[in-house]
C-alpha cells in the first residue's frame, strides 16, 4: 500500500515538470514569432522604398535594348539596299559577259524582295517592291534571250560522218553512203540488212552517242532553266528549246538521207530503188534511235535536271517531227501493194523496230511521249500484219502461178528454185517468224512455221504437177517432176528446214522422187526393151526352118532379127539425140539414173546380141544391124541428160 502511494507521488512530480517545460517552450515560440514579424515589417518598408529605383532601372535597360534592335534592323535594311543596288547594276548590265554573276544577282534580288516583304514598314505597293519586281521581270526576259543565244550557238546539225564514227566498227559503211541509191550501194546494203549473227550479239554491241552540246555549257543552261522555271516561264522555255533543237535534229536526219515519203511516192518507185531505200531506212532508224535521239535525250535531261515532266515534254516536242518523218516511210511501205518480194524487207523493217523497242521505251518515257511510243508500236503491229498477209499471198501465188516459162529439157523450173530460195531465206528469219506466228491456232511457234512451210512446198508441188502436163512425152514429164522434187528434198536436207520438216517428210518425198524415176524408165525405155525381147522371134513350134529358107538353131527369122536390130538402133539413136538435150542437173541423181537404165538395157542387149547376133553377122553389111557393142551403149548413155543443144547433138 505504501509502495503504491509513493509511486503516484513520483508520477505527479514528473507531470508537473513536463507542464512547466511546455509553458517555457510556448513562451520562446511566441518571442520568435514576434521577432520574425518585426523583420517582415522592416523588409516591406525597404521594398516600398526601392520600388521607384527598380522601375527607372528597368526602363533604362528596355530603352537600350530597343535602340540596339533598331540599329541592327536599320543596318540590315541598309545592307539589303546596298545588295539591291549591286544586283540592279548587274542586271541592267546584262548576262552576256558573266552569266554566273548575273544569276547570282537575280537570286540576291529575290532574297531582297522577300526581306522587304517581311518588314512591316515595307509593303508590296511600295516603290522599292514594285521596282524590284520589275527588275526581276526584266532579268528573266534577258535570261530567255541568253538561253536562246547559247542554245543557238551550240546547236548544229550532226554530219553523217560523225554519226557513222559513233557506230560499232562492224556496222560502219565502208565506202558508199547509205543515202545513195546506186546499184552497188543497194546490193551491199541489202546483204547487211538481215544478219542473224548481228542480231544474236545485239546486246553486246556498244553505240556511242555523239556529243551534241559541249558538256561545259550544259550546267549553265541548267542554271538558266532553274531561274526561268522559278519565274513561271516554262512555256517560253519549252518554245525556245523546241524551235531550236527540233530544227537541228531534222536537219541532221536530212543530211543523213532521210526523206518523208507517202504511199503514192512509194508506189511510183522501181523495186530496185525501193529496196535500196528500205535498206537505208533500216540503217537510219538504228542511227536515229541509238545515236541521235539517245544524245538528244541526254542533253534534254541535263538541261532540265530536276524538272522531269518538263524534260519529257521538251524531248517529245523536239523529236515529234523527226519521228514522224521516219515512220511515214515505214507506214507507206506497210500500206503499199503487197508482193512476195516485199516479205523479206517487211521482216527486216519489223526486226529493226523490235531491236530498238527497249530504247524507245527508255528514251520516250513519261506521259508526254506516250503518243510517240504508240506510233512506233502501231507501225510495228502494222508491219507484222502486212508480213503475215504477204506470207499468205505467197502461198496462194505459188499454187496459182501460171507462168508459161518453158523448161524444154525437164530441168529444175525457175519457180522451184525461186520458192526454195524463198523458203531458205524465211529460215534466216526463223525467230522473227516465230514471233509473228505466236498464238496462231494454238500451236507452238515451230509447229506453226513447219506447217506454213509444208503448205508452201505442197502448193509448189501442185503447181509443178500442172506444169508437167505441158510435156507431150510422158518420160519427160516424169523426168521434170523427178528433177524438181529431188531439188526440193535436197534443199530441205541441206538447210535449217530439215529439223523442222522432219525425217518422215524427207523419206516420203524421196520415195516420190524414186517413183518418178521408175516412171521415166518405164515410159522412155519400155519400147526399146521390147525390141530386144524374144517375143515374136521364135516360131510357135519352138524351132524348125526359118522364113525364106534361112534358118538357124535359134529358130528365129533372120529378116525379123534384122528388123529388130534396125529398130533398136533407130530408137536408141532417137533417144540419144533427144535425151542428151534433157537435163538432170544433180550429178549424183544423173549418174544413178543412167546406171539404173544401163542395168536394164545392157544385160538385155548383150543377151539379144549373143542369141541372135549370129543370124546377121555373116550377111552383107552386118554393121548396119549390130552397130553398137555393149561398151558403146554404156559410153553413149553417159552423154544422156547433159542438156546439149540440138546442134551439139547432131555433131
Mean predicted confidence (pLDDT) in 29-33: 70
Report pLDDT for 484: 96
Continuous segment of H or E residues that includes residue 506: helix 503-530
pLDDT for the residue 160: 95
Q: In this model, does residue 530 exceed pLDDT 50?
A: yes
As given in the structure block, the three cell numbers for residue 25 are 517552450
- For residue 130, what pLDDT is reported? 73
Strand partners, 494: none
pLDDT at residue number 602: 96
The pLDDT tens digits of the residues spanning 135-190 come to: 777 777 888 888 999 999 999 999 999 999 999 888 887 654 454 444 433 333 33
- Cα(500)–Cα(503) distance, integer angstroms: 9
CA distance between the termini of the chain = 189
Task: Tell me how far apart the alpha carbons of residues 495 and 52 are, in angstroms, rounded to a whole number.
Answer: 118
Is residue 275 predicted with pLDDT exceeding 90?
yes
Least confident of 268-272, 413-417, 467-471, 643-647: 643-647
pLDDT at 544 over 70: no
Query: What nine digits make up the cell of 169?
Result: 566498227
Cβ contacts of 262 within 8 Å, gap of 6 or more: 328, 332
Q: Which range among 8-22, 224-238, 438-452, 500-514 shows the weakest confidence by mean pLDDT?
A: 438-452
Residue 41, φ and ψ in degrees, nearest 5: -65, -45
Nearest-angstrom CA–CA distance, 574 and 640: 12
pLDDT in tens, 351-399: 999 999 999 999 999 999 999 999 999 999 999 999 989 988 898 889 8
pLDDT at 276 (0 to 100): 94
pTM for this prediction: 0.71
DSSP string, 118-185: TSTT--TTSHHHHHHHHHHHHHHHHHHHHHHHHHHHT--PPPHHHHHHTS-GGGS-SSS-TT---HHH
pLDDT at residue 539 greater than cutoff 80 = no
What does CATH list as the number for 29-154? 1.20.58
Q: Band of the pLDDT at 28, cuts 50, 70, 90?
A: confident
- Residue 315, C-beta contacts closer than 8 angstroms, at least 6 positions apart: 296, 297, 300, 363, 364, 368, 369
Pairwise pLDDT comparison (39 vs 307), residue with the higher score: 307
Question: Cell numbers of 369, please?
Answer: 511521249
How confident is the prediction for the chain on average, in pLDDT?
82
Q: Other C-beta atoms within 10 Å of 397: how many?
A: 16
Higher pLDDT, 30 or 494: 494
Q: Are 537 and 561 in contact (CB under 8 A)?
A: yes
Does the pLDDT at position 222 exceed 70? yes
Distance in angstroms (rounded) separating the CA atoms of residues 185 and 189: 6
Question: Is it the case that residue 634 has pLDDT exceeding 80?
Answer: yes
Q: Is the Cβ–Cβ distance between 108 and 87 less than 8 Å? A: yes
For 207-372, CATH number?
1.20.1280.170
Query: Are 485 and 461 a contacting pair, CB within 8 Å?
Result: yes
- Among the listed residues 487, 490, 515, 651, the one whose alpha carbon sits nearest the alpha carbon of residue 585: 487
Taking phi over 0 as left and psi of -120 to 50 as alpha, with beta for the rest, 123 belongs to beta
What is the Cα 18 distance to its own chain's centre?
Answer: 118
In whole angstroms, what is the distance from residue 424 CA to residue 441 CA? 24
Strands, DSSP E only, in 188-303? none
pLDDT of 366: 92
Instruction: State how far the Cα of 185 lies from the Cα of 177, in Å rounded to an integer.
Output: 8
Confidence check: pLDDT of 288 > 60: yes
Give the whole-angstrom CA distance, residue 32 versus residue 34: 5
pLDDT per position as a tens digit, 95-148: 655 566 666 666 666 766 666 666 665 555 566 667 767 777 777 788 888 899
Q: What is the pLDDT of residue 537?
A: 77
- Contact (Cβ atoms closer than 8 angstroms) between residue 561 and residue 619: no
Task: Work out the number of other CB atoms within 10 angstroms of the CB of residue 623.
Answer: 9
Helix (H, G, I), strand (E, B) or coil at 556: strand
The domain defined by 528-536+556-639 carries CATH number 1.20.1280.170: yes
Is 197's pLDDT higher than 50? no
* Overall size of the chain counted in residues: 651
Per-residue pLDDT at 328 exceeds 80:
yes
Provide the residue ranges of all domains of the chain, joining segments of one domain with +. Answer: 29-154, 207-372, 397-524, 528-536+556-639
Instruction: Say how far apart CA 362 and CA 180 lie, in whole Å.
Output: 32
**Coil, helix or strand at residue 410:** coil
- Choose the weakest-confidence range: 84-93, 253-262, 598-607, 614-623: 84-93
Query: In which band, very low, low, confident or very high, does the pLDDT at 445 lie, cut at 50, 70 and 90?
Result: low
CA dihedral 628→631→636→639, nearest 10 degrees, is 180
Query: Is the pLDDT assigned to residue 330 strictly greater than 70?
Result: yes
pLDDT at 607: 94
- Provide, rounded to the nearest whole percent, the portion of the chain with pLDDT above 90: 50
pLDDT at residue 651 tops 50: no
Same fold, 207-372 and 528-536+556-639: yes
Residues 548-593 pLDDT 10s: 334 443 567 888 999 999 999 999 999 999 999 999 999 999 999 9
Residue 631: all three cell numbers together: 561398151
d(CA 22, CA 24): 5
C-alpha cell at 287: 542511227
More confident site: 43 or 205: 205
- Per the model's pLDDT, the better-predicted residue between 497 and 458 turns out to be 458
479 confidence band (pLDDT: 50, 70, 90) = very high
Lowest mean pLDDT among 19-33, 270-284, 548-562: 548-562
Tell whether the model's pLDDT for residue 491 goes beyond 90: yes
pLDDT of amino acid 126: 60
Integer CA distances (angstroms), 375 to 279, 370, 486, in order: 21, 9, 47
Whole-number pLDDT of residue 282:
96
Q: How far apart are CA 361 and CA 372, in angstroms?
A: 10
pLDDT attached to residue 182:
43
Burial (CB < 10 A; 0-12, 13-18, 19+), residue 608, is: buried
Amino acid at each position: 500500500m505504501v509502495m503504491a502511494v509513493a509511486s503516484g507521488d513520483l508520477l505527479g512530480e514528473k507531470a508537473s515538470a513536463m507542464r512547466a517545460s511546455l509553458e517555457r517552450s510556448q513562451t520562446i515560440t511566441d518571442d520568435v514569432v514576434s521577432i520574425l514579424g518585426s523583420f517582415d515589417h522592416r523588409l516591406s518598408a525597404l521594398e516600398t522604398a526601392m520600388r521607384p529605383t527598380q522601375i527607372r532601372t528597368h526602363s533604362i535597360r528596355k530603352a537600350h535594348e530597343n535602340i540596339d534592335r533598331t540599329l541592327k534592323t536599320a543596318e540590315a535594311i541598309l545592307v539589303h539596299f546596298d545588295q539591291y543596288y549591286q544586283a540592279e547594276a548587274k542586271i541592267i548590265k546584262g548576262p552576256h559577259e558573266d552569266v554566273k554573276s548575273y544569276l547570282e544577282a537575280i537570286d540576291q534580288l529575290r532574297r531582297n524582295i522577300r526581306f522587304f516583304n517581311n518588314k512591316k514598314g515595307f509593303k508590296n505597293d511600295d516603290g522599292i517592291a514594285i521596282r524590284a519586281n520589275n527588275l526581276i521581270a526584266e532579268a528573266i526576259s534577258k535570261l530567255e534571250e541568253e538561253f536562246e543565244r547559247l542554245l543557238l550557238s551550240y546547236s548544229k546539225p550532226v554530219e553523217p560522218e560523225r554519226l557513222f564514227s559513233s557506230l560499232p566498227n562492224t556496222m560502219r559503211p565502208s565506202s558508199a553512203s547509205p543515202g545513195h541509191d546506186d546499184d552497188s550501194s543497194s546490193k551491199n546494203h541489202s546483204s547487211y540488212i538481215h544478219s542473224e549473227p548481228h542480231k544474236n550479239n545485239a546486246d553486246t554491241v556498244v553505240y556511242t552517242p555523239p556529243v551534241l552540246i559541249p558538256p561545259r555549257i550544259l550546267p549553265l543552261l541548267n542554271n538558266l532553266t532553274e531561274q526561268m522555271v522559278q519565274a513561271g516561264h516554262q512555256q517560253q522555255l519549252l518554245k525556245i528549246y523546241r524551235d531550236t533543237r527540233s530544227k537541228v535534229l531534222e536537219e541532221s536526219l536530212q543530211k543523213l538521207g532521210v526523206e518523208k515519203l507517202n504511199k503514192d511516192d512509194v508506189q511510183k518507185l522501181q523495186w530496185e530503188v525501193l529496196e535500196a531505200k528500205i535498206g537505208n531506212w533500216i540503217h537510219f532508224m538504228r542511227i536515229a534511235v541509238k545515236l541521235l535521239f539517245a544524245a538528244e535525250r541526254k542533253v534534254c535531261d541535263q538541261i532540265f535536271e530536276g524538272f522531269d515532266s518538263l524534260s519529257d515534254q521538251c524531248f517529245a516536242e523536239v523529236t515529234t517531227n523527226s519521228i514522224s518523218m521516219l515512220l511515214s516511210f515505214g507506214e507507206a511501205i506497210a500500206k503499199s501493194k503487197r508482193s512476195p518480194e516485199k516479205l523479206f524487207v517487211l521482216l527486216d523493217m519489223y526486226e529493226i523496230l523490235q531491236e530498238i523497242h527497249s530504247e524507245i521505251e527508255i528514251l520516250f518515257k513519261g506521259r508526254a511521249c506516250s503518243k510517240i511510243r504508240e506510233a512506233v508500236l502501231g507501225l510495228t503491229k502494222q508491219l507484222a500484219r502486212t508480213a503475215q498477209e504477204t506470207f499468205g499471198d505467197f502461198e496462194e501465188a505459188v499454187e496459182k502461178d501460171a507462168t508459161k516459162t518453158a523448161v524444154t529439157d525437164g530441168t529444175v523450173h525457175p519457180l522451184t528454185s525461186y520458192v526454195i530460195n524463198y523458203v531458205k531465206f524465211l529460215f534466216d528469219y526463223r525467230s522473227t517468224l516465230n514471233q509473228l506466228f505466236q498464238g496462231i491456232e494454238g500451236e507452238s511457234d515451230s509447229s506453226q512455221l513447219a506447217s506454213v512451210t509444208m503448205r508452201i512446198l505442197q502448193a509448189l508441188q501442185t503447181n509443178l504437177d500442172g506444169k508437167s502436163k505441158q510435156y507431150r512425152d510422158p518420160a519427160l514429164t516424169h523426168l521434170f517432176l523427178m528433177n524438181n522434187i529431188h531439188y526440193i528434198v535436197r534443199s530441205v536436207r541441206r538447210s535449217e528446214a530439215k529439223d523442222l520438216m522432219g525425217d518422215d517428210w524427207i523419206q516420203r518425198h524421196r520415195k516420190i522422187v524414186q517413183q518418178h524415176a521408175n516412171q521415166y524408165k518405164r515410159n522412155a525405155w519400155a519400147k526399146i526393151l521390147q525390141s530386144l525381147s524374144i517375143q515374136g522371134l521364135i516360131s510357135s513350134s519352138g524351132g524348125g526352118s526359118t522364113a525364106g529358107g534361112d534358118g538357124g538353131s535359134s529358130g528365129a527369122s533372120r529378116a525379123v532379127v534384122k528388123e529388130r536390130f534396125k529398130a533398136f538402133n533407130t530408137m536408141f539413136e532417137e533417144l540419144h539425140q533427144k535425151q542428151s538435150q534433157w537435163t538432170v542437173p544433180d550429178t549424183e541423181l544423173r549418174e544413178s539414173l543412167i546406171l539404173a537404165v544401163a542395168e536394164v538395157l545392157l544385160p538385155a542387149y548383150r543377151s539379144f546380141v549373143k542369141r541372135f547376133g549370129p543370124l546377121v553377122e555373116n550377111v552383107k553389111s552386118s554393121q548396119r544391124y549390130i552397130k553398137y557393142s555393149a561398151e558403146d551403149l554404156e559410153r553413149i548413155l553417159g552423154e544422156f541428160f547433159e542438156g546439149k543443144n540440138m546442134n551439139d547433138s547432131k555433131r
